[in-house]
Amino acid sequence: MKTVSQISELRTQVKVWRQQGLTVAFVPTMGNLHAGHISLVDEAHKHADKVVASIFINPMQFGINEDIDNYPRTMVDDQQKLTAAGTDLLFTPTPDIIYPKGLAKQSFIEVPNISDGYCGESRPDHFRGVATVVCKLFNLVQPDIACFGLKDYQQVQVIQTMVEDLSMPITIIPVATTREESGLALSSRNGYLTAEEKAIAPVLQKNLQWLAEQISIGFSQSESIDFIGLSKQAAKVINDAGLHTDYLHVCHAHTLQPASEDDTQLVILAAAHCGKARLIDNLQLKLT
């Protein structure tokens, strides 16, 4: 695997592939890679001839109280994992390559509505930073397809909306969340969990499953479903176990608006603090 940090080197390599008639898939990351990221690379290989990954810890998506300096940096380990997964090219730009004028003077992409609630409410401007860097990386790599993990469900919807709204010629491939046997979604943030916290963290996914079951039972019995009441019950069990729920809502799977009686494609979105880690997770549910 070749690693490049300059835009010109990236463009030269992609141009050569294009001249050979090859297709290109892209996997953007912030590094500190785990099996979930590698599943994105594996998926990318199914859709294109060449796979480009990037590692860029994007300052624009961190809030003022969020500690970007302590974000884990594991470049050598990441390169080994990407090489083993058959990645063709790794792009590792520095902030001054991506934002040469500095953040304050940088144009940005804002994806309204879908960015507003849930993580967008807890982390103001986060999705502006995500959409801007992903748009910029798309313009640099110019891939045919790009893979994103469904653990960050709202992020996938924001990027999909941006691609549709701005007519970007890129297919977004959402990839299922990779989990530990306990059900805990793999995340770079799990590194902040102590052994005791790691033992209780699976309560989050477990209660999303409980909530999905209650909704399915209600639907199959044609009962009116109290989405808010059931969500509160699930959040209480999670909080009683020692986590602190930031939000837990049942939503329409595409608009992310609060679920209503007529919706059959749902997603339960949740975030909860567990010690120093803010865990996010979700569960998609089709009612038939």
Active site residue ranges = 37
> What is the bridge-based pairing of β-strands 145-149 and 244-252?
unpaired
How far is the C-alpha of 261 from the C-alpha of 243, rounded, in Å? Answer: 29
How far is the C-alpha of 161 from the C-alpha of 253, rounded, in Å? Answer: 13
If the CB atoms of residues 60 and 283 are measured against ligand PAF, the closer one turns out to be 60
Least distance (Å) from ligand PAF to the CB of residue 167?
Answer: 20
Structure tokens at 39: 């599943």
How far is the C-alpha of 62 from the C-alpha of 70, rounded, in Å? Answer: 12
If the CB atoms of residues 61 and 79 are measured against ligand PAF, the closer one turns out to be 61
If the CB atoms of residues 134 and 259 are measured against ligand PAF, the closer one turns out to be 134
Structure tokens at 280: 């996010």
How far is the C-alpha of 165 from the C-alpha of 60, rounded, in Å? Answer: 21
Least distance (Å) from ligand PAF to the CB of residue 78?
Answer: 12
Q: Are 208 and 283 in contact (CB under 8 A)?
A: yes
Q: Are 135 and 14 in contact (CB under 8 A)?
A: no
Binding site for ligand PAF (CB under 6 A): 28-30, 58, 61, 130, 133-134, 152, 155
Least distance (Å) from ligand PAF to the CB of residue 91?
Answer: 11
Least distance (Å) from ligand PAF to the CB of residue 26?
Answer: 10
If the CB atoms of residues 151 and 249 are measured against ligand PAF, the closer one turns out to be 151
Structure tokens at 223: 């009962």
What angle is formed at CA 211 by the lines to CA 208 and CA 263, rounded to 5 degrees?
Answer: 105
Least distance (Å) from ligand PAF to the CB of residue 19?
Answer: 28
Indicate the DSSP class of residue 49.
S
